[in-house]
Structure 1
């Protein structure tokens, strides 16, 4: 779970951090552009946490495990097997099928990108960063090879990687 330390004030949780930043720094570009953006971001957060994150976990589980320090591997395996209710072997056996099905889980995003370059419209909002964060996690741990190079989601993801002086690109991909 991310935690923001803003001059000694600790704010846990990504959404709470975004709300805090919006209020504490009104002179900065808005993360929401009003109440509609907050509502949109809540819906996108639910989509990401209920559809995208579980798929990524099943796709990247073994990749994540492989890059952990030896001391963390046993805890990771035990806690993820308990959370997912399956052994690593069973999850690994379903990884290829999950990769094949992953593109369909992004269809709502793909549909929206027919009309605008970002979830937020012409410019990104917090809703973009929610899904971008999930796909960045996948890119770093297991790669995005399951998505076609000409997929509109990849084009959107590339635009997100270019934001903020291309800081997203500074993280090495799998």
Structure 2
């Protein structure tokens, strides 16, 4: 039986852009598990009401319902121990937790202001009022105030990536010789940007960009097939 996964999409069903959903799409492919992705929009709260909350990703595996990308990754690792490991070992899992927190506390604040207006441009018409009202209330600014991205913002983001750059100068993936969930966490953030923004956040010869290209090719180009920019 295929695992069902509710996946946030834009105006087109093949423009999946949630970084948290991309973590799990890559994790499911890594685990070699069959999945049925169900396109989901911001205002379709009723469709996932059975999960007891209002955000994706949500997976349904038989009679099991799991939400939150970290919880889902741990569920997949525990439930399918004979499939390729997402973490490698318990010690590595602790290190991946640091990567998760670094992504959410450092990368998001630097990247999201440059992408928030692009999200608004690419979501379905029925989601636009909801998105504008909720984001403007949270951010204290109009979406249009985020429209013009400054080069200094891009430069700052590239500087923040220094730890990734140094790591990828010494090994092919963040997890070592082969990609694991640490890679999927960070890659998902770049896939979010690629799905909705034409901005070139990485120089071509940047080790982070070369790693990103390898990630795009994984699993028969799963992420590359998603509608987006280069």
More strand by share: 2
Q: How many residue pairs get matched?
A: 173
Deviation at 1:84, TM superposition (A): 2.0
What's the TM-score once normalised by structure 2's chain length? Answer: 0.71
Runs of 5+ in structure 1 lacking a partner?
none
Distance 1:111 1:83 in 2: 35
More helix by share: 1
Runs of 5+ in structure 2 lacking a partner?
1-55
What's the TM-score once normalised by structure 1's chain length? Answer: 0.92
1:18–1:31 Cα contact (<8 Å) kept: yes
* Residue number in structure 1 paired with 2:63: 8
1:58–1:98 Cα contact (<8 Å) kept: no
Distance 1:120 1:59 in 2: 28
Among residues 190, 193, 209, which one is paired with 1:135 in the alignment?
190
CA RMSD for the aligned pairs? Answer: 1.5
CA distances 1:45-98 after superposition (whole Å, capped 9, x unpaired): 1111112123332111111111122221121112112222322233234x2232
Q: Secondary structure at the match of 1:170?
A: coil
Distance 1:71 1:110 in 2: 40
Distance 1:113 1:83 in 2: 35
Greater relative contact order structure (CA < 8 Å, 6+ sep): 2
* Residue number in structure 2 paired with 1:69: 124
